[in-house]
């Protein structure tokens, strides 16, 4: 079994009828959404509402025939459980997220949830975040040159405006902002880095997620088994 599918199936046991479910973005989260859709259509789970963390996820919810279950944050009183993926996760449950540019909406929903479950395959595990991936930072377009200069001057490393080969110009998020990918030259402690970078004027959100906000991590292995840590 594909490790992403194994992790997605394992996450389903934490979803019950009547829940408001925050549905993450990215390939692993969308595998979970497909499994959730099958459970709903099969009558195993009922009376749920789905809050998406990106327009991509909204589209997939509708494509799967679940459009009547889609809700926006102002239509619900809270999120019972959020299930999302990650670009990197360490043993402290700290995350790097935002490779797909949805970090702000992901963090809003994931941090709001009563239970935040992260599903990944083994390739996403690292000793300490940030590691292999840059830290995504969503910025107001007007401010991106100043944010880039501030990061590089005061904290070192390189901060690059994200471009995509499939469009001209910078990547634009669902919130009509830009994304800077930051590779610090020195080790950044995740919770401190989240606080410091978020405090730079012009920064909307940073793709460092504090492990204290994560309820559990479900890891899918190549042999189809899973394990969890809390």
User: Rounded distance, CA 206 to CA 152, Å?
Assistant: 16
Element (H, E) at 83: strand 81-84
**Of 135, 77, 72, the residue nearest 105 (C-alpha):** 72
106 part of the active site: yes
Instruction: Tell the residue number behind the tokens 């020195």, with chain if given.
Output: 186
Q: Which residue in the block uniquely carries the two structure tokens 């990197």? A: 88
Which tokens belong to 196? 């410091």
Query: Tokens 């840590």 sit at which residue?
Result: 229
Specify the pTM. 0.95
- What pLDDT score was predicted for residue 139? 98
DSSP strand pairing (115-121 vs 216-220): parallel
Closest listed residue to residue 29, CA positions, set 93, 105, 94: 105
Contact 36, 21 (CB under 8 A): yes
Task: Tell the burial category of 152 from Cβ atoms under 10 Å away from its Cβ (0-12, 13-18, 19+).
Answer: middle
Identify the active-site residue in 58, 88, 106, 138. 106
Per-residue pLDDT of the chain (230 residues; tens, 9 = 90+): 899 999 999 999 999 999 999 999 999 999 999 999 999 999 999 999 999 999 999 999 999 999 999 999 999 999 999 999 999 999 999 999 999 999 999 999 999 999 999 999 999 999 999 999 999 999 999 999 999 999 999 999 999 999 988 888 999 999 999 999 999 998 889 999 999 999 999 999 999 999 999 999 999 999 999 999 99
Place of tokens 């102002």: 74
Over the range 71-100, which residues count as b (16 or more CB within 10 Å of their CB) and which as e? beeeeeeebbbbbbbbbbbbeebbbbbbbb
User: Beta-carbon neighbour count of residue 37 at 10 Å?
Assistant: 19
What is the side-by-side strand order in the sheet with 135-139? 158-161, 178-183, 135-139, 203-206
**DSSP H or E stretch at residue 190:** helix 190-198
- Structure tokens of 51? 């809050």
H-helix or E-strand spanning residue 109: helix 103-112
Closest by CA to 112, choosing from 70, 77, 136, 138, is: 77
């Amino acid at each position: 079994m594909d490790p992403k599918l194994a992790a997605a199936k394992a996450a389903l046991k934490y979803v019950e009828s009547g829940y408001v479910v925050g549905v993450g973005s990215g390939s692993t989260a969308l595998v979970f959404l497909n499994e959730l859709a099958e459970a709903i259509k099969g009558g195993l789970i009922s009376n749920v509402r789905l809050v998406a963390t990106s327009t991509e996820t909204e589209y997939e919810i509708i494509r799967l025939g679940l459009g009547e279950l889609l809700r926006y944050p102002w239509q619900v009183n809270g999120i019972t459980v959020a299930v999302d993926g990650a670009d990197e996760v360490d043993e402290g449950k700290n995350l790097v997220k935002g490779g797909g540019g949805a970090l702000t909406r992901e963090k809003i929903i994931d941090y709001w949830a009563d239970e935040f479950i992260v599903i990944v395959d083994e390739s996403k595990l690292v000793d300490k975040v940030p590691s292999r991936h840059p830290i995504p930072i969503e910025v107001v377009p007007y401010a991106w040159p100043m944010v880039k200069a501030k990061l590089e001057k005061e904290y070192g490393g390189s901060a690059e405006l994200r471009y995509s080969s499939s469009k001209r110009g910078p990547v634009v998020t669902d919130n009509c902002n830009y994304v800077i990918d930051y590779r610090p030259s020195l080790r950044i402690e995740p919770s401190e880095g989240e606080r410091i970078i978020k405090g730079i004027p012009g920064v909307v959100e940073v793709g460092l997620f504090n492990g204290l906000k994560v309820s559990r991590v479900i890891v899918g292995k190549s042999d189809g088994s899973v394990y969890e840590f809390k």
